[in-house]
A and B are shown apart, each in its own frame.
Chain A
Amino acid sequence: MDKNTASQTLTDIMAKFTAYIGKHLPTDVSEKLAELRAAETNTLASAVYSSMAENQELANKLDRPSCQDTGVIQYFITAGSDFPFLGELEESLRNATLVATKTAPLRHNAVETFDERNTGTNTGDRVPWLDWEIVSGDDGVTIDTYMAGGGCTLPGAAKVLMPGEGYEGVTDFVFDVITNRGINACPPLLVGVGVSTAVETAARLSKKALMRPVGSKHPNEKAAKMETLLEDGLNEVGIGPQGLTGNASVMGVNIESSARHPSTIGVAVSTGCWAHRRGKIRIAADLSYEILSHKGAQL
């Protein structure tokens, strides 16, 4: 396949996929919301869960973005070093965003900083935002596409703790962010926590944590235990859907971590709203693709 044809094919696939994820929640999130709805005993919270379910049905039926805030588009790319169209990806993803903005349609959410002008295209300086990881020897590419609205972006926070504060300090930080600022971010939330060295390494990991499925576990036993403790603990607080109180607060807590400097513990929290619109797609070297996040999805 020549590079021009490949660019067009990549653009076409990713434009359709980007539009798709704005209208349909991933399977793990839908299942979790159904589970929380079934277990809810608070009347007001149950009514809110019903509105949420009705909304997703309508979005599907009317083919519209389920939430009006379709975010600044982010692509987390895990690229095989042997993927033949690595050089075409960036431009294709930019074009995919342009196309999806018109076809979906997406809300115009790219404001050039300092000029304070909305570009009207969802593209701008370094937007859509790309995050890259390279996998040696693989000839395909996996792309996590994410649209986070302003509401669930606002609580995001990062801090560097002294080692004396330990994981106890991490616990305090997570609870502070979620119980003070998470309430307005459309709970039940998926909570992403990064534990690392510095603000930016922890912050990136906290966002990567949101790409992991609801219910998945950190491979380290202690980290996995902490995920469960935080999830159960936050649920005990009973924030409920939209912060109106209820049986649960979160869909889950996902921790991602790296080795750290002995003198610091970088911690960050990112939140995904209940309408956690992300999708994972795997594109092969011949540009055939498989959607991994949404069961039975057709583009």
Chain B
Amino acid sequence: MKKILTTPIKDEDLLSLNVGDVVYLTGYLVTCRDVAHRRLIELKRELPVDLKGLAIFHAGPIVRRKDADHFEMVSIGPTTSMRMEKFEKQFIEETGVKLIVGKGGMGPETVEGCQAHKAVHAVFPGGCAVLAATKVEEIERAEWQDLGMPETLWVNRVKDFGPLIISIDTKGNNLFDQNKVKFNAKKGAVIDRIKKEVRFIK
């Protein structure tokens, strides 16, 4: 059965999740990437959206304007989460955000933030932007539009948004760190074998 998280997300919804689990989201998913993080943490500006209990999406979508106040989500997929590593721990602390959706791994600071404040990071498969857009029921608000299309805070009401693969859980586990250990354990022997075959300079 599908495990669905519904906003507002509570601590107890997340405690039993482990890295590698697949969940879906129903409720509010707000796009929030490089400049929005910088504005809150470095420039000390108040975010125009209260993220307590909600989910953010590291994403810069393609959006079509329908009329003055209405937008259509055309294509929205995750961007590289690691770019937000510098800010994310403090971001979690200040906003009370519970679910961070992005692509690829994040680092030790985010792991600390997730553990201390009971939040998780999850991966939505990169490049699957139309699949994601079809899970957006409506764009309810668009804040900080001065940042341009990719960086605007798009407040999306979503239903069964996923698959979301938990990559950092509330217990200090980091799926991508675990995977890197596996990759590094394998690669040495493979490289040595190839090197013997490519001694073209004699």
A interface residues with partner B (beta carbon < 8 Å): 44, 47-48, 51-52, 54-55, 58-59, 62, 64-70, 105-109, 118, 120, 149-151, 154, 163, 166-168, 170-172, 175, 179, 183-184, 186, 222, 225-226, 229-230, 233, 236-239, 241-245, 273-275
A118 to B131, CA, bound (A): 27
Quick one: closest B residue to A58, CB to CB? Answer: B130
Instruction: Contact check, B62 vs A244: say whether CB atoms are below 8 A apart.
Output: no
B interface residues with partner A (beta carbon < 8 Å): 20, 22, 59-62, 64, 74-77, 79-82, 103-105, 123, 125-131, 133-134, 148-150, 163, 165, 175-176, 179-180, 182-184, 186-187, 190-191, 193-195, 197-201
A150 to B58, CA, bound (A): 13
Cβ contacts under 8 Å, A163 to chain B? 201
Cβ contacts under 8 Å, B165 to chain A? 44, 48, 242, 244
Instruction: Contact check, A65 vs B62: say whether CB atoms are below 8 A apart.
Output: yes
Instruction: Contact check, B128 vs A107: say whether CB atoms are below 8 A apart.
Output: no
The 8 Å CB contact of A184, one of B59, B76, B80, is B80
A68-B61, A243-B176 known; A168+B195 contact, CB < 8 A: yes
Q: List 5 A-B contacts (CB under 8 A).
A: A151-B80, A168-B198, A237-B186, A238-B182, A242-B104
A149 to B194, CA, bound (A): 31
A183-B180, A242-B103 known; A233+B193 contact, CB < 8 A: yes
Cβ contacts under 8 Å, A108 to chain B? 148-150
The 8 Å CB contact of A106, one of B62, B176, B180, B190, is B62
Closest A-B pairs by Cβ, 4 of them: A184-B104, A275-B127, A55-B128, A167-B198
Instruction: Contact check, B125 vs A68: say whether CB atoms are below 8 A apart.
Output: no
Cβ contacts under 8 Å, B82 to chain A? 184
B151 vs chain A, min Cβ distance (A): 9
Cβ contacts under 8 Å, A168 to chain B? 195, 198-199
- The residue in B129, B197, B199 that gathers the most chain A C-beta atoms within 10 A of its C-beta is B129
The 8 Å CB contact of B127, one of A62, A67, A179, is A67
Quick one: closest A residue to B184, CB to CB? Answer: A179
The 8 Å CB contact of A58, one of B105, B134, B175, B190, is B134
Instruction: Contact check, B74 vs A273: say whether CB atoms are below 8 A apart.
Output: no
Instruction: Contact check, B80 vs A171: say whether CB atoms are below 8 A apart.
Output: no
Instruction: Contact check, B126 vs A242: say whether CB atoms are below 8 A apart.
Output: yes
Instruction: Contact check, A244 vs B123: say whether CB atoms are below 8 A apart.
Output: yes
Instruction: Contact check, A52 vs B127: say whether CB atoms are below 8 A apart.
Output: yes
A229 to B200, CA, bound (A): 14
A58 to B129, CA, bound (A): 10
Cβ contacts under 8 Å, A167 to chain B? 198-201
A52-B125, A243-B179 known; A175+B62 contact, CB < 8 A: no
A225 to B199, CA, bound (A): 12
Instruction: Contact check, A179 vs B183: say whether CB atoms are below 8 A apart.
Output: yes
A38 to B77, CA, bound (A): 24
A175 to B182, CA, bound (A): 14
Instruction: Contact check, B76 vs A245: say whether CB atoms are below 8 A apart.
Output: no
A166 to B196, CA, bound (A): 11
Instruction: Contact check, B127 vs A273: say whether CB atoms are below 8 A apart.
Output: yes
Instruction: Contact check, B60 vs A107: say whether CB atoms are below 8 A apart.
Output: yes
Instruction: Contact check, A166 vs B199: say whether CB atoms are below 8 A apart.
Output: yes
Quick one: closest A residue to B133, CB to CB? Answer: A64
A255 vs chain B, min Cβ distance (A): 11
Cβ contacts under 8 Å, B131 to chain A? 51, 54-55, 58
